Every structure is written in structure tokens, then in C-alpha cells.
Amino acid sequence: MTKRFVFVISDRTGITAEALGHSLLSQFPSVDFKTETLPFVDNELKANKVAEQINQIIKEKGSAPLIFATIVDDDIRKIIADCDAVFFDLFDTFIGPLEAALGIDSSHSVGQSHGVTDLNEYSSRISAVNYSMATDDGVEVDHYQSADIIAIGVSRTGKTPTCLYLSLHYGLFAANYPLIEDDLKSGKLPDSLAAHQDKLFGLTIEPFRLQQIRQERYNRDSYASAKQCQWEVAQAEALYRKYKLPFINTTQMSIEEIGTTIMHKAGLKRKI
């Protein structure tokens, strides 16, 4: 396997450059990328230190590293661009064409993207996170009237992280409720859920995968047995179908995918 060094360099957090860099590199599965993120490179002194570090790699390893950068300041960007590396500027590549399309100059100011100045937006976000924490795992069901969405499913289908993701990134009031043995046996939605059917979204998973996940942490006989996992999943899916609830199979999905898929299918819009 080829090995290749990659630097993600940003004048702020590097989150955006990291995500797009990762997305691009995932298209080259035969290369073993060693990625290092260098955030907050926001003055020439820091940029020169980074440039030294990069030029050292070339001397030692022989091959030019890749650089994915989002740097607003022209002078700082030039220092990085002048390194002996393959330079991709994710920001500058588009800002010129964008200025042309809009017919105005960009402000060229750093830290507009992930910064916070709006107290309302900040508070909405925190309220959503607090709501999702407070309503995690079926508690506080009497607060479901405030929910934007209520994720339901058997234990270990990804409900908790999905709800936290939805609240943290989209400001949604996302509650979750675990379908326990009694619910599954009864074949009926519990009263606390039946009153909010329009907000329910089911998660399901391949029984084999569920068993893997459960065994990893709780190797209790019945809870993680193949038979139990198969039964729980079958009962949960029967429940979703009976009440015509939307549901998705999370087996091959990341938390981000589960979250955005739920929003897409439920027609929810971001609140922040």
C-alpha cells in the first residue's frame, strides 16, 4: 500500500477542510493516507513553522505531501502554497468565481464560518441539546409535546447519538424512546408514544449486527443472543408497519447519515 502524508491546514478550526479532504481521499482506497490537521494557523509566524514541518517531510520521506487548506489571508496562504507539496486550496479556489458570480468582493475576513455572535441561535442550540439529554432513553415522556422528532427502536440501534447529533447540529428537539420487551410483546405502542404518532421515527438494524454491538459490551446471555436480537428486531419492525411509521435500517449508516436521513424523510428543517 502506498503511504502518503496529508496536512489539513486552516486559519480556524479546520473542520470544513478536514471533512472535504476526507471525502476526497476516501475515493482512493488503495492509498494509506496519514492525515494531520493543523488548525488555527492564523499568522505568518505559525505559517512559517508549518511550512518548515512540511518541507521536512519531503526531505525525509521523498514524496510530496498533500495539503488541503482553507486560509482566508493571502499572505498566510502564500507561505503554505509555496511549500514543496501538492496544494489544494478549498476556499480560494471558489472565492474568485463566487465574487464574479455575485458581482461583489468578498470580505476576506477570518472566522465567519463557525463563529458565534447571535445569542438567540446559541441559546436555541443549547436548549435543543438540553432537551435531547433530558429526554434520552425514554425519560420525561411528558415533554414529548415539545419534540420535533421522537426516535424509537430496540436497545443499541443508535438512538442516543443520533438525537444528540440532531440537536447539536440542527437545533432539533430530538427525544428517543427504547422499545423494551413489554412494548414488543404487547404489539402496541405505549400510551406515551401513541399520543405523538406523527413525531415517531423508527430505527431498525440487521439482527446479526445488533448482536455484534450488544456482545461487545454486554455479553449477557439473553440480551445479546441471536434469538433475542432476531425476535426484538422482528417485533419492532412489525410495530412500525402496523402503525405505518417511517423507519430506516441503520446497519450500514453512520450517525451523520442516520440523522440527515431522518430529517430528509420526516421533512424536518434545521432550526439553527
Question: Rule CB under 8 A: which of 7-46 touch its own copies?
Answer: 12-16, 19-20, 22-24, 26-31, 39-40
Number of residues binding to its own copies, judged by CB under 8 A: 76
Q: What are phi and psi of 252, to 5 degrees?
A: -105, 15
Residue 20 Cβ vs its own copies, minimum distance, rounded to whole Å = 5
Of these, 116, 182, 198, 222, which contacts its own copies (CB under 8 A)? Answer: 116
Residue 166 Cβ vs its own copies, minimum distance, rounded to whole Å = 11
Task: Write the single-letter amino acid at 135.
Answer: T
Instruction: List the interface residues with its own copies, window 62-101 (CB under 8 A).
Output: 64, 66, 70, 72, 86, 88, 90-91, 93-95, 97-98, 101
Task: Write the single-letter amino acid at 190.
Answer: P
SS (H, E, C) 179-226: CCHHHHHHCCCCHHHHCCHHHEEEEECCHHHHHHHHHHHCCCCCCCCH
Of these, 32, 82, 84, 216, which contacts its own copies (CB under 8 A)? Answer: 216
Nearest to 69 by CA among 88, 49, 51, 52: 88
**145-164 mask for its own copies (x: CB under 8 A)?**
-------------x-xx--x
Residue 150 Cβ vs its own copies, minimum distance, rounded to whole Å = 18
What is the CA 141 to chain-centroid distance, rounded?
26
Nearer to its own copies, 54 or 239 (CB): 54
Q: Which three cell numbers stand for residue 270?
A: 434545521
Instruction: List the interface residues with its own copies, window 217-256 (CB under 8 A).
Output: 217, 252-256
